[in-house]
Amino acid sequence: MEKNNNKYFGFVTAVFVVIIFIFNFYHLNQQGTYENIFRQIAVNVIDGKGYTCDALGGIPLLYPLWGYTGLVLLDVLFDFNNALVLIVQYILCIVVINLFYKTYKINPKYRHLLYFLPFIALMSVKWPDAIVGALLFVYGYFIIQSLRENGKNGQTSFDKLRMTEGNKLRMTEENKLRMTEENKLRMTEENKLRNSEKKGKWKYMLFTGIVLGIILNFRTEYLLMPLVFLVFIFFPQMKGKRRQLFLTTVISWLIAIVLLLPWAFRAKSISGDLSFTATNSGAVMYLSMGQLPNNKWGISPYDKTVYDIADSLGFQSPYSYQANTFFSNKASELIITEPFEFGKKIGYNFFSIWKGGVYTGEYANYFISQNRRYEIDDLINSTKGIFNKLKILFNLNLHESIPVIIEKFLQGVFIPIVFLLLVLFVLSYYKQKDDYMNIVFLVGAAIILYKVATVCLVQYEYRHINSIYMFLLGTGMTTFTSKIRSKE
């Protein structure tokens, strides 16, 4: 990028992100959960009523996790009126965009801001996915840093020092005394560099563990993600770095589990069992099986389903630990009874990833009232056929139709873009890369594949792909640009 443009890129990025946050301020996605659960729990904690909320039976809760609730609690405590939550997410958004360029070695360009739209949209919504999506990238960045041993030319810092000192020694070979002194100096400098790099690796391992620990206190679905990195140790691209990847993975995993222990002990005090996860997993697993259309289990993938079942069985909430045990056992029983049906459900979710796109924002809500937006969405969702849906949009009042059409257009544009990024991700495995980019690709691939696996096995929502979007974008951009350069 040209130097004069680089000067203003950071400022333009900051302003662009603010604009997206402003126009998506009236988002409705998951805001019932935010207001009625996260915010209500925060209010009850401050009022001395404990970790409870009326919407979930007023009982001591083991769902949701207290990571995002803690952030909301600070917002409520200091009367920020949601501003603190959005400020934290804004800062994380800017940080990740900067790390994106550092990680993928891509020169910043203004058009990239449009590519970042799904990630910025994710960060502009009040939901745990925003914090987790940002921290996943930070987690990957720290793993990459812990594995970096080579310089730009594939030489370690020790190699570079030896070459430099070697040249000096050849030039001063006649002076034996000076050669001895310089040998001592070289050994001293090498030891300093070795100790410095060793400390750096431990530093990044510690950072990796802390970030993973924070993620797990927001969403425990990532608890088993380090297992993917342990599998990736055996990839040929990891030759020479297997020991370091093993150490980084295991040590950071242990640190993360330690940071999750307070939640586990709290779970034991309430349910009697030491549990590292939230108690919504059973209900989510059961509901997600209903995502397969016309499934043999007869499950409808709506929250009302588990609420009705919980109520009929006398559970105070579908997310109580008793209900969690019931739904977990029920889901397992149904899967064992109809394993082929569950396989179809996995396949359905997998293909939904390819054709579903990502969340890109709800900008029409800036111009339309909440109740009116619900009316429009209900009308569109109850209408069959794409042309009939379009007819509804074009028949709206102009001040309603234009923002809704633009919003839907943006969402539609990113469906083929995400499909292309997924294709480029697959192709990038076979693309020749240098040592550094091999590390970057494999770290990103581990996180992407883990997320895809959880989405296929459990629940698919297009917003879930936003969490790995920056990894897909980085891999896609580097693969695409390298193909262009190879043809030149």
Q: Each residue of 370-422: pLDDT tens digit?
A: 999 999 999 998 998 889 988 999 999 999 999 999 999 999 999 999 999 99
The number of residues making up the chain comes to 488
pLDDT at 352 over 90: yes
Contact 368, 28 (CB under 8 A): no
Show the tokens assigned to 31.
């805001």
The half-sphere exposure of 373 on its side-chain side, counting CA atoms within 13 A, is: 17
**What confidence score (pLDDT) does residue 160 get?**
47
Q: What is the Cα Rg of the chain in Å?
A: 26
pLDDT at 369 over 70: yes
Q: In which band, very low, low, confident or very high, does the pLDDT at 163 lie, cut at 50, 70 and 90?
A: very low
Give the residue among 251, 201, 206, 202 at the shortest CA–CA distance from 226. 251
CA distances from residue 220 to 64, 128, 259 in whole angstroms, order as listed: 10, 11, 12
Report the distance separating Cα 301 and Cα 310, nearest Å. 15
Show the tokens assigned to 239.
């030759």
Mean pLDDT of 176-193: 59
**What confidence score (pLDDT) does residue 241 get?**
93
Name the average pLDDT for the chain: 90
3-state secondary structure 158-207: HHHHHHHHHHHHHHCCCCHHHHHHHHHHHHHHHHHHHHHHHHHHHHHHHH
Mean pLDDT of 81-86: 97
* 164 CB neighbour count, 10 Å cutoff: 12
Report the distance separating Cα 421 and Cα 143, nearest Å. 23
Show the tokens assigned to 95.
């940080």
Q: In which band, very low, low, confident or very high, does the pLDDT at 431 lie, cut at 50, 70 and 90?
A: confident
**What confidence score (pLDDT) does residue 174 get?**
54
- The dihedral formed by the CA atoms of 282, 288, 294 and 295, expressed in degrees to the nearest 10: -40
pLDDT at 309 over 50: yes
357-367 pLDDT, tens digit per residue, is 999 999 999 99
Least confident of 153-162, 177-186, 194-203, 347-356: 153-162
**What confidence score (pLDDT) does residue 138 get?**
99
Which percentage of the chain shows pLDDT scores above 70?
A: 87
**What confidence score (pLDDT) does residue 68 get?**
98
pLDDT at 97 over 60: yes
105-149 pLDDT, tens digit per residue, is 999 999 999 999 999 999 999 999 999 999 999 999 999 999 985
Instruction: Give the max Cα distance, the chain.
Output: 94
Report the distance separating Cα 299 and Cα 330, nearest Å. 12
Q: DSSP assignment, residue 447?
A: H
Report the distance separating Cα 221 and Cα 206, nearest Å. 21
Mean pLDDT of 448-461: 97
Contact 362, 24 (CB under 8 A): yes
Show the tokens assigned to 296.
């043999």
Decide which of 166 and 327 is more confident: 327
The half-sphere exposure of 104 on its side-chain side, counting CA atoms within 13 A, is: 24
Report the distance separating Cα 158 and Cα 161, nearest Å. 5
Mean pLDDT of 205-210: 97
Report the distance separating Cα 453 and Cα 159, nearest Å. 41
**What confidence score (pLDDT) does residue 237 get?**
86
15-59 pLDDT, tens digit per residue, is 999 999 999 999 999 999 999 999 999 999 999 999 999 999 999
**What confidence score (pLDDT) does residue 184 get?**
59
**What confidence score (pLDDT) does residue 447 get?**
98
Give the residue among 61, 34, 56, 59 at the shortest CA–CA distance from 311. 56
CA distances from residue 23 to 20, 86, 92, 299, 301 in whole angstroms, order as listed: 5, 13, 19, 37, 30
Mean pLDDT of 275-281: 96
Report the distance separating Cα 331 and Cα 340, nearest Å. 14
